[in-house]
């Protein structure tokens, strides 16, 4: 949702233009002119009697006028009253009340006259009255004793003040008394009760009168009201009568409406045009009547009609003669209606149709003064000249009076005067001054020269040329200094000299010249017009929905004329932003942090320049989880249902989608709330199903898109009556725990399912398929019962029935159970094994008879284990493996067997108690398989053309080894493989010397073993032959030779000695040039340290050679 508005300059310019038209005939103050009243006090002037009285009268004229006053129609001699002074150069009177004067002494009708040599202007008749705020007269107020349901009027009757006081009712604590359709204050200040209720009883009904003019409040004595309810009245009567008397006050009876004000069926009302019409109807009755208003034969005026005081007052503003007519108020309740017709007549004090305006004429010219007014009754028009009735004023041959018009012909300078027009009827009068000023003046332009006008493109431009002259000058406009006269539809020329360009464009800018001429002369003036680019909001704020405590930003990016300086103002709901640090105003945006509900509203960005103003608005909606519902009420209480109603809390701008209803059982689970039901968000009542013997409380949670509200306050508690159980325990089972018992279990009923006190269970059982009677036992509120002495694993019919102090639940359904199991009696027979391959075998067996299982058949278990490997003839630790086959299965697969091995197995039947006896062990053998890889492959003793290979037999031969296979091939420096050679080796060998190999060559070897079934996985290794025999002999570990160790120690000692000598030499002779050091003969002991000496080189060479074999 986004609203946009723009404030242009056209309206402002138009207002200024109209003002200029009104003042276009103003005579410059440096020219002779009759007086003009510029300021005066109101006609009806109520003054504060404690302050000085100021009666205003200001006027202008040339020469400056002198002032005089009349009081009550006679001359008021100011000099004779020490309390009265007139302000200098003014006609304003000041009556000094604060220094001893009394305001009452200056009540009266005052009129001011401003006079100079060209005429006299007069003010309105100003009626001076001091305000009054008298005290309430003392009176004895009797308490009001009223029967419940009757009507009552508490009279205020405030003292008559000037102006009339404002009335309101409060109590002793200065709190306004609450008003409603039943209790309200009338226009006369009285307090009306349509019907009284017991809560109306109080002793402090106080009427207050506030006199705004004197800023005082007067208080009436408190009024006491005592309302007697029917119950208390019956108790009072009964206490005063004997047992044999018949007594009883009538109950409160409903009554049809009766009007308390106005009385009767009709009344009249007169109101003046332009005032506010107030019509009132207040009715009594029970139930409280509702008021409705209509206008007979017409409609109530739209946009001007308002209803106040709970529709008891009809208010029509700015009434006119068209509002006259009959207005009917209708008071209605369930027992009937009553009405009253008010005949309204709208009269009118005089109002202007055409008020006379000042007239400036040159000698010999003609003119008219027109004075036209209307009213009801129609006003009479009278003329005065210089404050004197025109009939007795000095004659002027150029003047002729024709009713509401004075016609002037061939005026002369002596014709100058001030004329007064008086329009009056019984409701008031109008008085207007208008002068006739006869002057001969050449034109003058009053607008400043070279005035600069700046307007926004595509807006109206109004260029002023305020002028004066007598006779009235003619005005012409030119564009530019030597441009042609402006004419055409694109310009508007106003009588006051203003040039209007309705739609100013960029090319409208420039210099404009105004020329004024009459028969006495000519004058011109230049003004400048600049056209500016309009200010625009190019990125407007947008409608936002934000969760409470979130953050929101509104953008307002603008574009404006570069020569104008804009200011940006943000408003909230057309008022200033709150003084809150959460509101951050940036250059182009408004950010609100930690948003609260109070931030909801319309935000407006207003951009102002000196020439235009634009704005854009957007609405911020703050959403949140709903407030919790309240006022939960239980109605329609029945044994198994109840109606719950509630009032939704505030939805916080996100519609409520559903209500979740929860309940608490204070009898069985206090403090624990359970889900009851969920209803749509449009529903505020729910019919709830109830269980017996539950102490219910309910609460309601509202849900919207944002989340769930807090739970409401709990409702009142409602305890349902007890009843026999409605249902029996669930999940009833009969399972034996021992071979000679039957354990009957069930899920106990929850507390609210018991339906009453004394919850117990009737447990019944009998053996199935046997003609036995039911055996029953009643147990306490437990969850199992054990039946002892039963046969082993026989079926039983079982049932469990709930009961309480009020009776049994419905007959329960039966379930089948079994007594306890025992271990199976026999082993499976005819066990056969079929070997499929070296690692997989299949076993078969015959099922055991079901009677021998003695329980629920769960399946068969096959135990199997390896006895020995046939290839090694050695025993090892026996590890038994178990496979379980569920159900009545009679075969199974044995995976993961080891090849060429001997195995044993047996089979056992399994029930819920355990395993039965094992079948006799069955022996079977697995055939040979391929062997695993040899355990190792090691290559030693390399020579120029031979290598020695050693290996270990496979860890798992999986049969009888028949041979080994060796494959090898050379590898060159680029890791390319040469031709592959294969050798078959007997199974009893564990080493091999390969001869006739290439010297200094790398070989890759592949080695595996075979049985009669096939080849096993292979193992790989790599080795290198050596370069020559010398290196081979030196291949002996040189680091272990004694001569090598001695040589290394000698070299280390020699190096240490050389380092010490060098260090001493460097620290002995101080400093000398490096060049001299190089040229000096070296010490023989340290000669080997020179770089060109061969010692270290030989050492390095020797060291290298010694590391290789000789």
Rounded Cα gap, residues 323 and 299, in angstroms: 10
Rounded Cα gap, residues 127 and 111, in angstroms: 9
Query: What Å distances lie between residue 385 and 357, 382, 434, CA to CA?
Result: 14, 10, 10
Structure tokens at 546: 């934000």
The structure's pTM equals 0.56
Rounded Cα gap, residues 131 and 212, in angstroms: 10
Q: Which residue has the higher pLDDT, 1037 or 446?
A: 446
Check whether 136 has a pLDDT greater than 80: yes
pLDDT of residue 251: 64
Tell me the per-residue pLDDT of 409-429, one tens digit each, with 9 for 90 and over: 999 989 999 999 999 999 999
Rounded Cα gap, residues 668 and 751, in angstroms: 6
pLDDT of residue 101: 78
pLDDT of residue 725: 93
Strands laid side by side in the 417-425 sheet: 359-361, 428-438, 417-425, 380-385, 388-389
pLDDT of residue 874: 57
pLDDT of residue 709: 96
Tell me the per-residue pLDDT of 230-245, one tens digit each, with 9 for 90 and over: 666 555 555 554 444 4
pLDDT of residue 229: 83
Q: Which residue has the higher pLDDT, 11 or 806?
A: 806
- Is residue 228 within 8 A of residue 206, CB to CB? The reply is no
Check whether 47 has a pLDDT greater than 80: yes
Structure tokens at 720: 């349902």
Strands laid side by side in the 405-408 sheet: 367-370, 405-408, 399-402
Residue 280 sits at the vertex; the CA angle it makes with 274 and 286, to the nearest 5 degrees, is: 160
pLDDT of residue 146: 95
Where residue 484 falls among pLDDT bands split at 50, 70, 90? confident
Closest by CA to 112, choosing from 63, 64, 76, is: 76
Percent of the chain predicted with pLDDT > 70 = 90
pLDDT of residue 1044: 72
DSSP state of 1084: G
Tell me the per-residue pLDDT of 576-600, one tens digit each, with 9 for 90 and over: 999 999 999 999 999 999 999 999 9
pLDDT of residue 875: 57
- Is residue 725 within 8 A of residue 762, CB to CB? The reply is no
As a whole number of angstroms, the longest Cα–Cα distance in the chain is: 169
Strand residues in 220-263 grouped as ranges (E): 223-228, 255-261
If you average pLDDT over residues 786-799, what whole number do you get? Answer: 93
Check whether 1101 has a pLDDT greater than 60: no
Cβ density class 268-286: b for 16+ within 10 Å, e for less: ebebebeeebebbbbbbbb
Across all residues in the chain, what is the average pLDDT?
88
Mean pLDDT is highest, among 37-51, 133-147, 1064-1078, for 37-51
């Amino acid at each position: 949702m986004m609203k946009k508005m723009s404030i242009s300059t056209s309206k402002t310019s138009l207002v200024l233009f109209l003002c200029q038209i009104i003042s276009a005939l103003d005579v410059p103050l440096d020219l002779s002119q009759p007086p003009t009243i510029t300021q005066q006090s109101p006609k009806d002037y109520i003054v504060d009697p404690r302050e000085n009285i100021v009666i205003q009268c200001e006027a202008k004229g040339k020469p400056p006028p002198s002032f005089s006053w009349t009081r009550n129609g006679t001359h008021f001699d100011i000099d004779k009253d020490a309390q009265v002074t007139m302000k200098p150069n003014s006609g304003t009177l000041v009556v000094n009340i604060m220094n001893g004067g009394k305001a009452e002494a200056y009540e009266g009708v005052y009129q001011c006259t401003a006079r100079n040599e060209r005429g006299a202007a007069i003010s309105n008749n100003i009626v001076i009255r001091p305000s009054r705020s008298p005290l309430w007269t003392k009176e004895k107020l009797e308490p009001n004793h009223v029967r419940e349901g009757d009507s009552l009027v508490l009279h205020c009757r405030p003292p008559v003040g000037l102006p009339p006081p404002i009335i309101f009712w409060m109590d002793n604590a200065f709190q306004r008394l609450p008003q409603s359709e039943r209790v309200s204050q009338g226009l006369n200040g009285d307090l009306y009760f349509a019907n009284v209720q017991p809560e109306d009883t109080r002793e402090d009904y106080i009427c207050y009168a506030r006199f705004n003019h004197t800023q005082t409040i007067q208080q009436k004595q408190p009024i006491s009201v005592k309302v007697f309810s029917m119950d208390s009245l019956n108790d009072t009567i009964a206490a005063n009568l004997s047992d044999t008397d018949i007594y009883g006050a009538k109950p409160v009876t409903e009554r049809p409406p009766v009007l308390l004000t106005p009385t009767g069926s009709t009344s009249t009302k007169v109101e003046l045009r332009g005032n506010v019409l107030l019509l009132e109807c207040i009715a009594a009755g029970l139930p409280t009547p509702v008021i409705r208003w209509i206008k007979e034969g017409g409609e109530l005026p739209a946009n001007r009609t308002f209803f106040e005081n709970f529709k008891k007052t009809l208010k029509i503003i700015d009434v006119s003669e068209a509002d006259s007519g009959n207005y009917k108020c209708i008071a209605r309740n369930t027992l009937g209606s009553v009405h009253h017709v008010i005949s309204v007549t709208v009269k009118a004090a005089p109002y202007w149709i055409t008020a006379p305006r000042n007239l400036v004429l040159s000698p010999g010219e003609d003119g008219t003064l027109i004075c036209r007014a209307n009213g009801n009754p129609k006003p009479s028009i009278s003329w005065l000249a210089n404050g004197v009735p025109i009939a007795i004023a000095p004659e002027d041959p150029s003047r002729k009076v024709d009713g509401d018009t004075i016609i002037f012909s061939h005026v002369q300078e002596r014709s100058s005067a001030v004329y007064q027009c008086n329009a009056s009827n019984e409701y008031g009068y109008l008085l207007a001054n208008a002068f006739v000023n006869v002057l001969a003046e050449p034109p003058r332009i009053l607008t400043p020269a070279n005035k600069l006008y700046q307007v926004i493109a595509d807006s109206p431009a109004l260029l002023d040329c305020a002028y004066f002259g007598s006779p009235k000058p003619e005005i012409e406009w030119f564009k530019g200094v030597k441009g042609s006269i402006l004419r055409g539809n694109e310009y508007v020329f106003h009588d006051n000299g203003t040039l209007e360009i309705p739609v100013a464009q960029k090319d409208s800018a420039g210099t404009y010249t105004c020329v004024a001429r009459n028969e006495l002369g000519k004058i011109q003036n230049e003004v400048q017009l600049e056209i500016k680019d309009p200010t625009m909001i190019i990125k407007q704020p947008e409608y936002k929905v934000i969760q409470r405590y979130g953050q929101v930003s509104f953008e307002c990016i603008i574009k404006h004329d570069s020569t104008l300086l804009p200011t940006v103002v943000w408003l909230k709901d057309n008022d200033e932003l709150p003084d809150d640090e959460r509101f951050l105003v940036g250059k182009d945006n408004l950010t609100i942090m930690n948003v609260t509900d109070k931030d909801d509203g319309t935000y407006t960005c207003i951009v102002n320049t000196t020439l235009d103003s634009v704005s854009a608005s957007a609405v911020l909606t703050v959403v949140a989880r709903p407030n919790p519902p309240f006022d939960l009420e239980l109605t329609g209480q029945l044994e198994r249902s109840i109606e719950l109603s509630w009032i939704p809390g505030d939805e916080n701008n996100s519609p409520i989608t559903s209500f979740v209803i929860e309940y608490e059982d204070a009898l069985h689970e206090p403090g624990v709330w359970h889900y009851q039901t969920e209803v749509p968000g449009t529903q505020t009542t729910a019919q709830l199903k109830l269980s017996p013997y539950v102490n219910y409380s309910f609460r309601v949670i509202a849900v919207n898109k944002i989340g769930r509200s807090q739970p409401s306050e709990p409702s009142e508690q409602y305890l349902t009556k007890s009843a026999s159980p409605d249902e029996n325990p669930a999940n009833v089972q009969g399972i034996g725990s021992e071979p000679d018992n039957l354990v009957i279990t069930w899920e106990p009923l929850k507390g609210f399912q018991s339906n009453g006190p004394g919850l117990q269970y009737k447990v019944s059982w009998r053996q199935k398929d046997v003609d036995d009677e039911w055996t029953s036992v009643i147990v306490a509120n437990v969850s199992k019962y054990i039946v002892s002495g039963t046969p082993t694993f026989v079926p039983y019919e079982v049932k469990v029935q709930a009961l309480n102090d009020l009776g049994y639940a419905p007959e329960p359904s039966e379930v089948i159970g079994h007594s306890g199991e025992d271990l199976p009696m026999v082993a499976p027979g005819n066990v056969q094994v079929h070997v499929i391959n070296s690692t997989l075998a299949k076993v078969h067996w015959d099922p055991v008879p079901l009677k021998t299982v003695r329980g629920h058949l769960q399946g068969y278990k096959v135990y199997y284990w390896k006895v020995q490997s046939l290839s090694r003839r050695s025993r090892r630790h026996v590890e038994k493996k178990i496979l379980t086959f569920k159900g009545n299965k009679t075969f199974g697969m044995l995976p993961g067997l080891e090849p060429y091995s001997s195995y044993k197995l047996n089979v056992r039947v399994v029930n819920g108690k355990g395993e039965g006896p094992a079948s006799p062990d069955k022996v079977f053998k697995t055939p040979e398989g391929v062997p695993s890889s040899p355990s190792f492959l090691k290559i030693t003793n390399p020579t120029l053309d031979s290598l020695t290979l050693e290996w270990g037999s496979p860890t798992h031969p999986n049969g009888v080894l028949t041979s080994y296979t060796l494959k090898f091939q050379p590898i060159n420096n680029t890791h390319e493989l040469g031709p592959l050679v294969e050798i078959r080796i007997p199974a009893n060998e564990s080493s091999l010397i390969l001869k006739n190999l290439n010297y200094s060559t790398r070989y890759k070897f592949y080695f595996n073993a075979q049985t009669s079934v096939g080849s096993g996985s292979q193992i790989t290794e790599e080795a290198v032959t050596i370069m020559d025999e010398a290196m081979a002999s030196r291949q002996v570990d040189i680091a272990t030779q004694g001569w090598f160790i001695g040589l290394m120690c000698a070299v280390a000692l020699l190096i240490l000695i050389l380092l010490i000598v060098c260090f001493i030499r460097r620290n002995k002779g101080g400093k000398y040039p490096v060049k001299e050091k190089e040229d000096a003969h070296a010490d023989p002991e340290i000669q080997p340290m020179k770089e060109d000496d061969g010692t270290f080189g030989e050492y390095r060479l020797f060291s290298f050679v010694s590391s290789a074999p000789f």
